[in-house]
Amino acid sequence: MAKTQITAEPGIPQIIMTCEFDAPRDLVYRAYTDPELLQQWLGPREYTMTVTENDVRDGGRWRFVHADAEGHEHGFHGVFHGDPSPEGIVRTFEYEGAPGHVSMETLTLTETGGRTRARTVSSFQAVEDRDAMISSGMERGVHDSDERITELLARLQAD
Amino acid sequence: MAKTQITAEPGIPQIIMTCEFDAPRDLVYRAYTDPELLQQWLGPREYTMTVTENDVRDGGRWRFVHADAEGHEHGFHGVFHGDPSPEGIVRTFEYEGAPGHVSMETLTLTETGGRTRARTVSSFQAVEDRDAMISSGMERGVHDSDERITELLARLQAD
């Protein structure tokens, strides 16, 4: 299964995540941008994820909401910078529970021999913001997402 | 005169700039957001600066163009994140000559005894991007901007 490597060096306000998928790049890109697919894998399993906005183009906004079983909602949104393509996506990211704390994500997708490597660099305004993101339980969400996108990509290729 | 202190630590993909103005915060904020005022101080003296877009609100776009005497144009644009206010502005920044290389600027304005301190943190996707910005001659542009905003704030307060 895909297992994301998470790197967060002391004093540097970034998180670098790398992951490899047993799927071609175009399919991985679809999983990252098609709302119907995103809702099937992004975030912890016990949350219902809804994509409320997803204007995948330069300057377009995206927004998604995670809701738990009791209906508590957590919203996230941002803006795409540059036209997203299977080569990669640059977008900003803001958790609506902490307005003003914005990070920027640079996703790069590279394909080798039918497998795809995804590398995400998240750049934060401060090391404190980066550390807050890590201590929010990010790692468990990433782990669940890993399992779920792996299952999704397998299903899509079996179709 | 205002003299911006520029800090760029090795290995950390950020530039931190601080500057103090002999002017109240609301006036400094106007100088940073009113297109008529921005065009009078931002950038090197020998460039003509035009604000082509300046939608100062959450999700709004800004764009400005520097033109030299021969008419060569350099465009810059980005998106405001969160509602800009005299307390500060968060926005992305992209030089159109290097698409895909996006930085994020967090400006904080604080007033003490009628003087205003401006602190800008620019966060880059990579240290290489930060270093490219510095070697582009940024420092001279910042120096000219320092002189020009100081003159502008003095004029506005003399009115």
Distance in angstroms (rounded) separating the CA atoms of residues A80 and A89: 7
Question: Using CB atoms, which residue from B79, B81, B104 is nearest to A123?
Answer: B104
Low-confidence ranges of chain A (pLDDT < 50): none
Question: CB atoms < 10 A from the CB of B84, how many?
Answer: 20
pLDDT for A137 = 84
How far does the CA of residue A124 sit from the closest CA of chain B (Å)? 7
Asked if A106's CB is within 8 angstroms of B99's CB, the reply is no
Q: What is the largest CA-CA distance in chain A?
A: 46
* Cα three-residue angle B73-B155-B64, rounded to 5 degrees: 20
pLDDT for B23 = 97
The answer, for A124 touching chain B at a CB cutoff of 8 Å, is: yes
Ordered per-residue pLDDT tens for chain B, 159 residues? 668 999 999 999 999 999 999 999 999 999 999 999 999 999 999 999 999 999 999 999 999 999 999 989 999 999 999 999 999 999 999 999 999 999 999 999 999 999 999 999 999 999 999 999 999 888 888 999 999 999 999 999 997
Question: Using CB atoms, which residue from A61, A90, A99 is nearest to B82?
Answer: A99
pLDDT for A1 = 63
Residue A70: alpha-carbon gap to chain centroid = 24
pLDDT for B159 = 77
Three-state DSSP state, A119: strand
Kindly report the pTM of this predicted structure: 0.93
Distance in angstroms (rounded) separating the CA atoms of residues A155 and B154: 66
How far does the CA of residue B125 sit from the closest CA of chain A (Å)? 6
pLDDT for B1 = 63
Asked if B11's CB is within 8 angstroms of A13's CB, the reply is no
Residues A44 and A55: beta-carbon distance below 8 Å: no
pLDDT for B136 = 87
Bridge partners of residue B109, in order along the sequence: B118
Asked if B125's CB is within 8 angstroms of A121's CB, the reply is yes
pLDDT for B49 = 95
Give the residue from chain B lying closest to A85, CA to CA. B100
- Comparing CA positions, the residue from B151, B142, B157 lying closest to residue B42 is B142
Residues A116 and A20: beta-carbon distance below 8 Å: yes
Residues of B with CB below 8 A from A59's CB? Answer: 61, 79
Residues of A with CB below 8 A from B92's CB? Answer: 79, 81, 92, 104
Question: Using CB atoms, which residue from B94, B106, B121 is nearest to A81?
Answer: B94
Q: What is the pLDDT of residues A47-92, one digit of tens each?
A: 999 999 999 999 999 999 999 999 899 999 999 999 999 999 999 9
B141-144, long-range: CB within 8 Å, 24+ apart, which pairs? B141/B43, B141/B44, B142/B4, B142/B6, B142/B17, B143/B4, B144/B43, B144/B44, B144/B45
pLDDT for B3 = 86
- Give me the torsion for CA of B153, B154, B155, B159, rounded to 10°: 100
Assess: ipTM above 0.85: yes
